[in-house]
Amino acid sequence: MSARAGAVVQAASVRAMRAPAGASVRRLIDTGTGAGGLGDGLVRRLIDVPPGARFGANSAVAGELCFVIDGGGRCEVEGFGSLPLEPDRGVWLPPGSAYLLAAGSKGDLRVDIVSLPVTSPAGAADPALSGDRPAAGPPQARDLHDCAVETTGDRRFRVLFGPGYGCSVATQFVGEIPPGRAPAHSHPYDEVVLILRGEGVIHVGGGEHPLAPGTCAHLPPGEPHCLENTGPGLMRVLGVFHPADSPAAKLAHG
């Protein structure tokens, strides 16, 4: 069972569901309230596809942002052909795209998928949407090493998708956090963050939760938090913001 809004969850603690074509699916976070039906919250899933298996689906009503964590393979999108998959590659799947993930022959393909809602965190229609949902377009793939390095304080990040980068409704980025603890802060958007590498502690909601590869957290708008890196090297995180904004956008706290 996935965690609800404002939660911190370890991927290993979430029961994997077997998809019909042999893939393993862990639903890590679902920020929806249920009041708006399907598509009223961010949903983060971790998909493991072994060689010979497949994972097929239709992208969410406002599209999906994918990121290849490990392995290789391909993403076949109906009407658009096949996109090759390899580590550190992001993929934008427009609303309603029928797609199929398949692993290569050398090992499991592991992909993070965040499904986007058609509403803002406050429940109103997202102003970035046209009509009931964003206009469909072609799928896109982008490699992390091709994205410019940006900084906020002593932290570095690269934006894969966002306004001006192929997706107007949400932002997908990979950040690097050096050892130490930054001041608590919050953002004006919903954030779901997944730890890719490193160990530490997240300080949120008056408590502390351990961080390790596979830890996923949902940080609602205005929620003060801090990711502390307790290890000797860089911590690497994969984040998605909705509505779209910059990782540097912070709210002031007195």
In tens, the pLDDT along 21-39 reads 999 999 999 987 654 444 5
For the chain, the helix, strand and coil percentages under 3-state DSSP, each to the nearest 5: 0, 50, 50
| pLDDT tops 50 at residue 138 | yes
Share of the chain above pLDDT 70, in %: 86
pTM tops 0.85, yes or no: yes
pLDDT in tens, 155-208: 899 999 999 999 999 999 999 999 998 888 888 889 999 999 999 999 988 889
Q: How confident is the model at residue 26, as a pLDDT?
A: 96
Distance of CA 167 to the CA centre of its chain: 13
Strand pairing category for 89-93 and 64-70: antiparallel
Q: What whole-number distance in Å separates Cα of residue 208 and Cα of residue 74?
A: 38
81/69 Cα distance (integer angstroms): 22
- Distance between CA atoms of 229 and 100, rounded to whole angstroms? 36
State the Cα torsion 13-9-5-41 to the nearest 10°. -70
Is 135's pLDDT higher than 70? Answer: no
Region of residue 144 (phi > 0: left; psi between -120 and 50: alpha; otherwise: beta): alpha
Structure confidence at residue 137 (pLDDT): 78
**136 confidence band (pLDDT: 50, 70, 90):** low
Q: Which domains can be identified in the chain, with CATH numbers?
A: 8-123 (2.60.120.10), 143-242 (2.60.120.10)
| Burial (CB count within 10 angstroms: exposed 0-12, middle 13-18, buried 19+), residue 154 | exposed
Neighbour order of strands in the sheet with 64-70: 17-18, 24-30, 43-49, 109-115, 64-70, 89-93, 140-143
Q: What are phi and psi of 146, to 5 degrees?
A: -90, -5
Q: For residues 103 and 109, what is the distance between their CA atoms, to the nearest angstrom?
A: 5
